[in-house]
Structure 1
């Protein structure tokens, strides 16, 4: 079993159907299947062995998808790197993964010159370079003769079609490395198997997608939410993925009106920007039925705006890279306010106290998960793996939740983000939800600040809407009637934009 089957099987069933739309160009399933086969051959002819790692430092687009799927087909392990990272951050991840090749674009290749000798790779391949050479390749062209050795008679392996159980020989082999964002520490390489990825894409598709759906994937493809649940998910259903290189609210609203997607997959910050854009009222967005969000909780105010103003369904999913990545989701019509859905596929969930005891219904504790979604652990990090991948197959998420009698999960906060105010627990999301209610606020995040008496106190970092004015004292006065005194931010810092990762997570460590 191989992740490439998701594309190959759809190519067999509907070869002429649109698999991918990108910047006005449409790629059929048959065309993408051929292009990914050709890149698998490039790897084999180039001496990259099955099981070896290649780095992919590319923005969202067909090049990233063709390289990743081609690597899967060849049995090579792609390390898909966040394209927004700085050279030294890239060096740490590429060197840690022991990649033998690195594929990137010309601009990023120039930026890596200062760390080139410490990357550890044998070759850097420039994708779609304007200067043809032995180290450049145009992945999206059907004619590569002058650019790379893909005319070799070598043929990439063709795995057997998926079985009904999605479990076959080789399914537990490591398929890819995806490094954690590092928002709470040094990034770690999560080892996802072919079974992890296929099962997550297929199970997500069963809940949300059909063959006639067109999904606009606004989440970055170097993030597991975008590539696995977005692109691979819609391909598992035989539908069409619409991909953008970078998210900007107004161009995306224009794109929705032009290509008429039925669903949208992104993160709360994107929905926030689009909801508050004056251009939204000018665009015809009636093709959209559902908006999907993950990576961070969606503020209640935004959910109401989607349902009341956009007139679309809203489906929130929850997960982490370590669980491939989604373990809870629910169709839009079954969502409950404040919830991120119920267990997906064969996932088992339980809420646990610090002593490891399973808690009852609606009791707050740490969420643990078990099932096919749980990854193979961290690359070369046995100690870190043992800390969170514990006995009997359980994975400790580190997230604080409560779960109701019907299995709906309600995310409270990250355990590591909890603020201890003189012994009182403050979960940042509780405070952020109330801050979002202020009409002048566009975005907000709450972090801990040191205090000589209480140990820690809340500090709010707030971005205002364009043209809005708000004093710190006025915001705290707005919060005081509805919030316990120990939860009130002691300071408020106003910024142009809250710093967030490419996946939409607030960079709390940086803010602290």
Structure 2
């Protein structure tokens, strides 16, 4: 039976997993161990608390926190109460998070306590606190945000602690929570994941319950995820892959989740060995860190069975080393995007190394992929063009943005990805370039247009163009070419320091070059190819 038909909705998936795998470990965080039965009970309590605090079906509820059991409970509790989840990247600055909360009219926010030396509560207050508006809620600049719940530790005045939040749910009977969960329709919106379009303004891809279940039931089948697997989840839950290929897929198959709030390469071999990790998805950056760890030989890594990678060029040597040095029998690559529920193509177990290295595999079942020329004409195998996707997993649209939706999904249901690729004779897809110029920094998608808009807010910057350049550690990083407004003393270091205060760290250009003008074509558009060629 297909996953979307078996589980119906995410709330039903949580309940089924709690019953089917009741005593098996669901989430491991150091010494803290939570079973599937225990996880299901915690999610229902969180759903009851959401209902007690007025969350109604279709309301937006955001989570701004790192990977962990708290994230899973809060997010799935909200979804079980019928809410639409809005995951926020922990790398966002306060102003960036506030903009997304405002645009989605989020009514309830779960936020982490201090993380990586930063106070997210203080950041929120600074970005949307007193003086930013006239709302009556905890953050005056966000009048529709009724509650902010701090997941760990004490909450400041106006906010709620997790304990206070869940205590309110004790008054909601279990059968009322169950009825709310059962009322969630398969086609209802489950989450809004923000991505970026060609304008650089983040857009929220709306994905339904049935799309999610069907896509990651398929992903689990193709990856060979199975009951008893132990799954190290490094990809952020705020991204489609971390949440859905991680949490949702594990609930489907009864795999134990070992979520990581940050990527710590120095402890990776010890963690894999201690927890007997069998499934390890992640960008090439993570896999190189594991292979090159100076003490790797001291650890038993023989439990590793499945590695899934992508998001960057995958060197042949990396695949060979995973198979030869670590003995990993299944190494796969895949391609997806938020607008397509995170899954478009995937390699299959048994594919030769050549296919894994030079492609992202073939279209998953019930999905069409074609490559087209600028005029929309389908191109033959071997010819590069824009990648178009059609299938059940294509988003229902961008949140409250019909114009952007119409530009992305045509009348025949084809999603125009903005990526350039080539199909071979067997249907394997190689992603060769990005029409949108996106580059990937250590697994995080960075969008030049968005970064350029921020840089141009600096009073001394007239124009900016950002391109991705190779980086030994992160895969790619940003390099900015900047035209100043006039003779000035702004240095590259000063602009980079300013940018770090204005945007998430992975978006900040690592280098800046000041130029008299940017190269443009006859229509006035910046020719970024020429900027990339300047890198040698």
Q: TM-score, normalised by structure 2?
A: 0.75
Deviation at 1:491, TM superposition (A): 3.6
Deviation at 1:279, TM superposition (A): 2.7
Q: Could you tell me which of 156, 178, 190 is aligned with 1:157?
A: 178
Do the aligned partners of residues 372 and 442 (structure 1) sit closer, same or farther apart at CA in structure 2, a change above 3 Å counting?
A: same
Deviation at 1:225, TM superposition (A): 0.5
Tell me if structure 1 keeps the 8 A contact 2:227–2:255. yes
Do the aligned partners of residues 314 and 13 (structure 1) sit closer, same or farther apart at CA in structure 2, a change above 3 Å counting?
A: same
Q: Could you tell me which of 405, 413, 424 is aligned with 1:385?
A: 405
Tell me if structure 2 keeps the 8 A contact 1:2–1:73. no
Do the aligned partners of residues 392 and 183 (structure 1) sit closer, same or farther apart at CA in structure 2, a change above 3 Å counting?
A: closer
Q: Distance in 2 between matches of 1:182 and 1:388?
A: 9
Supply the RMSD in Å over aligned alpha carbons: 3.0
The answer on 1:279 being equivalent to 2:298 is: no
Deviations 1:31-80 (A, max 9, x none): 11111111111111111111011111111101111111111111111111
Tell me if structure 2 keeps the 8 A contact 1:18–1:29. yes
Deviations 1:145-182 (A, max 9, x none): 79630211333135899xxxxxx982221111111167
Equivalent in the alignment of 2:207? 192
Deviations 1:472-496 (A, max 9, x none): xxxxxxxxxxxxx99984346xxxx
The answer on 1:254 being equivalent to 2:270 is: yes
The answer on 1:395 being equivalent to 2:410 is: no
Deviations 1:223-245 (A, max 9, x none): 11011012211221122111111
Deviation at 1:273, TM superposition (A): 2.5
Do the aligned partners of residues 130 and 307 (structure 1) sit closer, same or farther apart at CA in structure 2, a change above 3 Å counting?
A: same
Q: Distance in 2 between matches of 1:210 and 1:183?
A: 39
Q: Could you tell me which of 115, 120, 144 is aligned with 2:127?
A: 115
Tell me if structure 1 keeps the 8 A contact 2:58–2:84. yes
Deviation at 1:22, TM superposition (A): 1.7
Q: Distance in 2 between matches of 1:451 and 1:221?
A: 34
Q: Could you tell me which of 144, 147, 150 is aligned with 1:126?
A: 150
Tell me if structure 2 keeps the 8 A contact 1:23–1:244. no
Q: Indicate the SS of the match to 1:417.
A: coil
Greater displacement, 313-322 / 116-125: 116-125
Equivalent in the alignment of 2:88? 81
Q: Distance in 2 between matches of 1:352 and 1:195?
A: 29
Deviations 1:12-46 (A, max 9, x none): 22211112212222211111111111111111111
Matches within 5 A, 1:287-306: 287-306=303-322
Do the aligned partners of residues 354 and 23 (structure 1) sit closer, same or farther apart at CA in structure 2, a change above 3 Å counting?
A: same
Tell me if structure 2 keeps the 8 A contact 1:320–1:326. yes
Deviations 1:285-342 (A, max 9, x none): 1110121113333233322332233322311111001111111112342251311111
Matches within 5 A, 1:165-204: 170-180=185-195, 185-204=200-219
Deviation at 1:417, TM superposition (A): 2.8
Q: Distance in 1 between matches of 2:531 and 2:407?
A: 31
The answer on 1:136 being equivalent to 2:160 is: yes
Deviation at 1:83, TM superposition (A): 1.0
Do the aligned partners of residues 451 and 88 (structure 1) sit closer, same or farther apart at CA in structure 2, a change above 3 Å counting?
A: closer
Do the aligned partners of residues 62 and 354 (structure 1) sit closer, same or farther apart at CA in structure 2, a change above 3 Å counting?
A: same
Q: Could you tell me which of 94, 104, 108 is aligned with 1:101?
A: 108
Do the aligned partners of residues 237 and 350 (structure 1) sit closer, same or farther apart at CA in structure 2, a change above 3 Å counting?
A: same
Q: Indicate the SS of the match to 1:392.
A: coil
Do the aligned partners of residues 348 and 210 (structure 1) sit closer, same or farther apart at CA in structure 2, a change above 3 Å counting?
A: same
The answer on 1:360 being equivalent to 2:380 is: yes
Unmatched tracts of structure 1, length 5 or more: 139-143, 162-167, 420-427, 453-484, 493-512
Q: Indicate the SS of the match to 1:255.
A: helix
Equivalent in the alignment of 2:344? 327
Equivalent in the alignment of 1:63? 70
Q: TM-score, normalised by structure 1?
A: 0.78
Q: Indicate the SS of the match to 1:310.
A: coil
Equivalent in the alignment of 1:490? 534
Unmatched tracts of structure 2, length 5 or more: 1-7, 114-118, 129-139, 440-466, 484-528
Equivalent in the alignment of 1:314? 331
Equivalent in the alignment of 1:476? none
Equivalent in the alignment of 1:52? 59
Equivalent in the alignment of 2:99? 92
Tell me if structure 2 keeps the 8 A contact 1:352–1:358. yes
Do the aligned partners of residues 402 and 78 (structure 1) sit closer, same or farther apart at CA in structure 2, a change above 3 Å counting?
A: same
Deviations 1:254-290 (A, max 9, x none): 1101010111011222223323321323322111012
Do the aligned partners of residues 376 and 311 (structure 1) sit closer, same or farther apart at CA in structure 2, a change above 3 Å counting?
A: same
Tell me if structure 2 keeps the 8 A contact 1:225–1:294. no
Q: Indicate the SS of the match to 1:200.
A: helix
Do the aligned partners of residues 486 and 308 (structure 1) sit closer, same or farther apart at CA in structure 2, a change above 3 Å counting?
A: farther
Tell me if structure 2 keeps the 8 A contact 1:265–1:291. yes
Deviation at 1:443, TM superposition (A): 5.1
Q: Distance in 1 between matches of 2:78 and 2:42?
A: 12
How many pairs does the alignment contain?
433
